Amino acid sequence: MAIVYDTYQRDEAERLLPLLKVGDPQRVLAMHEGDAITAAQFVAHVERVAAQLPEASAAVNLCEDRYAFMVAFCAIALRGQANLLPPSRAPHAVEEVMAAHPGCHAVGDRPMDPSPHRYHPLPELAVDAATALCAEWPSIAAMQTVAVGYTSGSTGAPRPNTKTWRSLHASTAGNLRMLHQVVGERFAVVATVPPQHIYGIEMSVLLPLLGDVQVHSGRPFFPADIAMALAQVPGPRVLVTTPVHLRALVESGVTLPALAAMLSATAPMPPELAAQAERCFDAPVMEVFGSTETCAFASRRVTADSRWSLYHGVHLHPQPDGTQIEAPQLDVPATLADIVTLHDDGRRFELCGRHADLLEIAGKRASLGDLTRRLLAIPGVKDGAVFQLDEPDAIGVRRIAALVVAPALDEHIILDALRASIDPVFLPRPLRLVESLPRNETGKLPRAALLDLLARHVPA
């Protein structure tokens, strides 16, 4: 048996997988600064950048423009290097990742001051037609580590997770299969999330590489900018976004070009928000479930069904402290902190919470996710988060705290509203009103940032 496994590992190590899966050199891969970029032009850009990169084992990819990120991502991989993807582009986050990978360098699409050590700005991404037509389709070793993604830090310190090219091929196959059922095989993507995040890579970098998909190179933030970006790509259109961005779109009253679907991840999608978005933009809101460790492995349309449907080849095994997952993109099973209940012979599941979110105080149980949902349901609450403090109080209980954005309310009104729906032992104390929550680029709330903001709002 060991001989068979060793042979499999050797064969996988020698197998090559294409950089681009759809073979038409003239298919439009991206809209970049108003210009249509073909697959052949993209390959020429990648090969030109790859030839200029220094020798190293890894590179921090700091490109902000999505197309520039795609070029750098593939050029770094073609050189046999891994893309290092810090949890943010903040200097301290970049420095920590570079310190963990001695000898690495950094790549970006614009000047930086101060710039990281061994920083290399990309050359101009311009290719003439003759060069573009001569571009060849490159391949990458299946088992090569092409990316190291870091968790957001919402439950603690960011953790690194390596991704091989085989793994990303497999996870993208699941995403494409899901989207083909919703919008068809050919579509265009506009994304509000950064390409450095694993969700952004999956839905706005890998989809155009491995499917017949076109992507807009920008990262529009304001509703009017999102509408403009969508107008620059052909239909059917898929908007890749988050609950935070989707809420801003709904509340803005903006009119968007026709959408085939809206895709959401990084935080639970409130069913009420999904229903509002579907009414406003006349398209389904599809939510994907996954993590930096696993990539996406399930989806649902929350307005139609609260249960999640697993991707092909994915199997979940509930455990007392979480859930074990087997998936085509995983070389070995992984264990998630999520607690699930399986349905329909294991093909679908219901999310019951995260092990780390479960609370037990005075013999009573609740979850932080449910408490946050009840907080957000209070009229006048614009944003909020409930979390547990690190240090126990005088009687040994780790208190629950909340930060709330509610300009027209005071703390007493919010606490009174919570008393009507939760047990008094789970009332957040302290509860502080703030102007905004410290959400990162994907809308997540790093725990360290929450604790720091709470500390800065202690009454004098």
Q: What are the structural domains of the chain?
A: 9-306 (3.40.50.12780), 362-455 (3.30.300.30)
The confidence band for 154, taking pLDDT boundaries of 50, 70 and 90, is low
Digit-coded pLDDT (tens) for 210-237: 999 999 999 998 999 999 999 999 999 9
Residues with Cβ < 8 Å from 92, sequence gap 6 or more?
A: none
Give whole-number Cα distances, 448 to 85, 102, 152, 452, in Å: 19, 26, 11, 6
The structure's pTM equals 0.82
Give phi and psi for 199, each to the nearest 5: -65, -45
Q: Does residue 460 register a pLDDT over 60?
A: no
DSSP-derived 3-state class of residue 163: strand
Range in 41-50, 128-137, 339-348 the model is least confident about:
128-137
Give me the percent of the chain exceeding a pLDDT of 90.
Answer: 58
- Is 192 within 8 Å of 245 (Cβ atoms)? yes
Rounded Cα–Cα distance for residues 289 and 241 (Å) = 13
Reported as a pLDDT band with limits 50, 70 and 90, residue 306 is very high
pLDDT digits (tens, 9 = 90+) for 347-367: 999 988 665 666 666 566 677
For residue 423, what pLDDT band results from cuts at 50, 70 and 90?
confident
pLDDT of amino acid 413: 92
Amino acid 377: pLDDT: 86
> Which residues 6+ apart lie within 8 Å of 233 measured at CB?
31, 188, 189, 190, 214, 215, 216
Residues 6+ apart with CB under 8 A from 326: 314, 315, 316, 317, 333
**Of 85-94, 211-220, 240-249, 329-338, minimum mean pLDDT range:** 85-94
Q: How far apart are CA 224 and CA 229, in angstroms?
A: 9
* Length of the chain counted residue by residue: 460
Assign 439 a pLDDT band (cuts: 50, 70, 90): confident
Residue 418 structure tokens: 């919570």
**Is the Cβ–Cβ distance between 242 and 193 less than 8 Å?**
yes
Q: Which residue has the higher pLDDT, 59 or 391?
A: 59
